[in-house]
Amino acid sequence: MGGLAIFVAFNITNFFFLRAQYPPRQLFGLFVAECLIIVTGVIDDIYELKPTQKLTGIILAALVVYYLAGLKMSFISIPYVGGFQFHWLRLPLTVLWIVAITNAINLLDGLDGLATGVSIIALTTSAITSFFFLNNTGVFVSILMLTLVAAMIGFLPYNFHPASIFLGDTGSLFIGFMISVLSLYGLKNVTVITLIIPVIILGVPITDTVYAILRRMLNKSPVFQPDKHHLHHRLMQMGLTHRSTVMVIYGIALIFSFISLLFPLSNFWGSVALIIATGIGLELFVESIDLVGSNRRPLLNLIKRIVTSSADTKELYKKKNNNKK
């Protein structure tokens, strides 16, 4: 339950030193939701909740954020098409976002310092984009994010391998929940491209979660059933040490962060090109480490066929030329 240290440090700072910076309703609503998440995590660390029970706690906290703090996805603008109000979709989309990101960070917490370090990188990047690209709320959202980053930086030396303190579900649920909620400030009124930015920033946990679900569905296993084929498991199975695996994933998280910072500087078609290139690169990496399975490499197999076909064509062309001579 080491995540309690992060929760306490974060909220002492907010309520005693920075309270004047934040809208009171949002600060109070966020704190109530945090308490629900912390209680869920503490009970899970002590008694080990069932996945549905844990999910119920996250959904309740998400509803508090929606109704009490007033944070929700409201509007999306699509280039060359126009804007659309979400209307009745506001609630399910908001809850789905919070649940998905919270669980993604929770699943990532498999090695000492992994979830903490990746979250520090993601939140720091989010704070930079919020400060420079959010109009009215950018400053106080950035302060909230960096306050949480500071709390995690104080925790990381004790959590890094070999760890003397562990996050537990108390910490991983809390961090994931805070990342999902704080990113909502940039998702209230969005374009398709700005919706992509937080997804790219959180590329490591989202990739691990999406491919875990895909892997279990393809193997006809229960979606909530744990396995030993997550990103960090695969890297260690390839021969990396505990510490090296964590550092490699930190590096991948930094790559995602650098890519996300290019989006606000690009035009629409430049952003589309970035998305396509990132998707192809990610798929090649996933297939190269067998994240879904050794027999599921569609893109690598396609490239291999193209290369083989090209080599065969060249060989045939050479034979024809030799015959003519």
pLDDT per residue as tens digits for the range 137-161: 668 888 889 999 999 999 999 999 8
Query: Using one digit for the tens of pLDDT, what is the confidence trace for 43-64?
Result: 999 998 988 999 999 999 999 9
Asked if residue 320 is part of any domain, the answer here is no
pLDDT at 92: 92
Q: Are strands 75-78 and 189-191 parallel, antiparallel or unpaired?
A: parallel
pLDDT at 130: 82
**CA 232 – CA 1 distance, rounded (Å):** 22
Rg over alpha carbons for the chain, rounded to the nearest Å, is 22
Number of neighbouring beta carbons within 10 Å of residue 310: 10
Q: What is the pTM of this model?
A: 0.89
Phi, psi of 224 (to 5 degrees): -90, 5
pLDDT at 137: 62
Find out whether 169 is annotated in a ligand binding site: yes
Query: Using one digit for the tens of pLDDT, what is the confidence trace for 157-195?
Result: 999 988 899 999 999 999 999 999 988 877 666 666 677
Q: Which domain holds residue 65?
A: 3-294
Q: What is the dihedral of CA 141, 147, 152, 157, to 10 degrees?
A: 140
Report how many domains make up the chain. Answer: 1
Asked if residue 63 is part of any domain, the answer here is yes
Asked if residue 47 is part of any domain, the answer here is yes
Inter-residue contact 227 to 212 (CB < 8 Å): yes
Asked if residue 314 is part of any domain, the answer here is no
Name the residue with tokens 């503490």: 42
**Exposed e or buried b for every residue in 270-295, given b needs 16+ CB within 10 A?**
ebeebbeebeeebbeebbeebbbeee
Asked if residue 301 is part of any domain, the answer here is no
Inter-residue contact 164 to 125 (CB < 8 Å): no
Structure tokens at 96: 């789905």
pLDDT at 38: 96
Which of the 8 DSSP states describes residue 127? H
Asked if residue 222 is part of any domain, the answer here is yes
Asked if residue 260 is part of any domain, the answer here is yes
Asked if residue 307 is part of any domain, the answer here is no
Side-chain half-sphere CA neighbours of 53 within 13 A: 11
Q: Which residues of the chain have pLDDT under 50?
A: none
